[in-house]
Structure 1
Amino acid sequence: MSTVTNRATSRPIVAPKLHHTTFTTLRLDEMVAWYENAVGLYPAFHGDQAAWLTNDEANHRIAFLSPPGLKHPVDKSHSTGVHHTAFEYNTFDQWLDNYIRLRDQGILPFLWLDHGITMSVYYQDPDGNGVEIQVDCFGNWEDSKQWISSALEFAENPIGSWFDPEKLVQARAEGLDFAEIHRRTRAGEYTPENIPTDIFLPELY
């Protein structure tokens, strides 16, 4: 019998919603341009030392601060902190089309994983921060929440199954739908030739 347990703890009765994430950066203009291209975040305000970006009804979802005195991190990939932020598409086709759009610009992910709850590709912004772009495998948050909470499959392998995104592009071109592609990915049919040895952020600088 498995000894894997879910160590979820108590929580507020009324929980606030996650609103935004703020980064410090020495590449303000480059970061604003990258996030606008990658995930459609446009600046509600873009000044000399800060910017606030949104891609939905909120006043901002990502903010960048660039005050004097900042220093670049040392050994970022092996330091504690935020590994990545994540953005979700409503459909598999939207998600895969965005992969193709970025690929055609030379922007490629460094990780490609089917977590069971999501299919996800991971990029790096100009500062080397991780950016996950995902699609929910259940199409319903209640179902995926139930699965992540109770599935032994996830508890034993939360990282999931590696895939080659180009094999997914080909599978869709051959007429397979999302459910079948997801099933085959979990079965290991689209495994890449070279599987990363870890999930650390690559050191860019």
Structure 2
Amino acid sequence: MAPAPIPGKDRPIIAPKLHHSTFLTLKLDEMVLWYQKVAGLTPVHYAPGEAAWLTNDEANHRIALVTHPETKAPVDKPTSAGLHHTAFEYDGFDPWVDNYVRLREDGIVPFMCLDHGITMSMYYADPEGNGVEIQFDTFGDWNRSKEWMWASLEFASNPIGAWFDPDRIVRAREEGLPMEEIHARARAGEYQPEKPPASILLPEVY
């Protein structure tokens, strides 16, 4: 007979922090360049034809990309169980919008954009169809956004959030609207895209 669980002993006293994600890839060079352009991740070590370890902060790496001769292209990846996306966060609204404009000018655009309440988020697909979220915390404080996420009836009733058109966000900023008003209007559905995505599924790449 298994022993009864001890209250408070079902997790480590000191929890480990998320450090990095690793992907098997068939497009190593293309993936390295894409993550460098989209999220500022640069290689700490790059072994051409084998693997790359990339970071954009003080960690030795945040993304690892590994190629292997037995790696196969995914089958029906958008509807397969597994990792949907990884996320990178800006400190505020303006650099987040600036990043969108920079990438848009280079032909890289998100496949969906959502105001989750806790964040405003743009979702991109990397060269192999993995989702990458670029976000900023609308509260500017993880403790406050965590509390709102935990306690808010608004979030509980709609945890996915409201779709928005990023170009309309850019125009609203150009008109001088402050972030707080843009966020409120996005949550209210005022910046809906002309044709909202049918779902949160990733686009098919292969």
Alignment CA distance shift 1:182-1:24 (3 Å): same
- Superposed CA deviations along residues 69-125 of structure 1, whole A, max 9, x for unmatched, are 111111011100000000000010000000000001110100100000000000000
Q: Which residue does the alignment assign to 2:67? A: 66
Whichever of the two has the greater Rg, that structure is 2
- Superposed CA deviations along residues 161-193 of structure 1, whole A, max 9, x for unmatched, are 111111110110010111111011111111111
Matched residue count: 196
Moved over 4 A (4+): none
Secondary structure in structure 2 of the residue aligned to 1:53: strand
Q: How does 1:8-87 map to 2 (within 5 A)?
A: 11-47=11-47, 48-87=49-88
Amino acid in the other structure paired with 2:34:
W
Write the distance in 2 (CA, Å) between the matches of 1:86 and 1:194: 24
Amino acid in the other structure paired with 1:42:
T
Secondary structure in structure 2 of the residue aligned to 1:109: coil
Deviation at 1:13, TM superposition (A): 2.7
Secondary structure in structure 1 of the residue aligned to 2:17: coil
Amino acid in the other structure paired with 2:199:
D
Q: Which residue does the alignment assign to 1:185? A: 186
Q: Which residue does the alignment assign to 1:167? A: 168
Amino acid in the other structure paired with 1:22:
T
- Superposed CA deviations along residues 6-49 of structure 1, whole A, max 9, x for unmatched, are xxxx6433111100000000100000000000000000011020
Amino acid in the other structure paired with 1:191:
Q
Secondary structure in structure 2 of the residue aligned to 1:144: helix
Q: Which residue does the alignment assign to 1:134? A: 135
Secondary structure in structure 1 of the residue aligned to 2:88: strand
Ranges in structure 1 where 5+ consecutive residues have no aligned partner? 1-9
Q: Which residue does the alignment assign to 1:149? A: 150
- Superposed CA deviations along residues 104-150 of structure 1, whole A, max 9, x for unmatched, are 11101001000000000000000000000001010000000001111
Q: Which residue does the alignment assign to 2:106? A: 105
Write the distance in 1 (CA, Å) between the matches of 2:12 and 2:174: 46
Secondary structure in structure 2 of the residue aligned to 1:34: helix
Q: Which residue does the alignment assign to 1:117? A: 118
Write the distance in 2 (CA, Å) between the matches of 1:141 and 1:125: 27
Write the distance in 1 (CA, Å) between the matches of 2:142 and 2:195: 32
TM-score by length of 2: 0.93
Ranges in structure 2 where 5+ consecutive residues have no aligned partner? 1-9
Secondary structure in structure 1 of the residue aligned to 2:143: helix
Secondary structure in structure 1 of the residue aligned to 2:171: helix
Amino acid in the other structure paired with 2:23:
F
Deviation at 1:68, TM superposition (A): 1.4
Question: RMSD of aligned C-alpha atoms?
Answer: 0.8
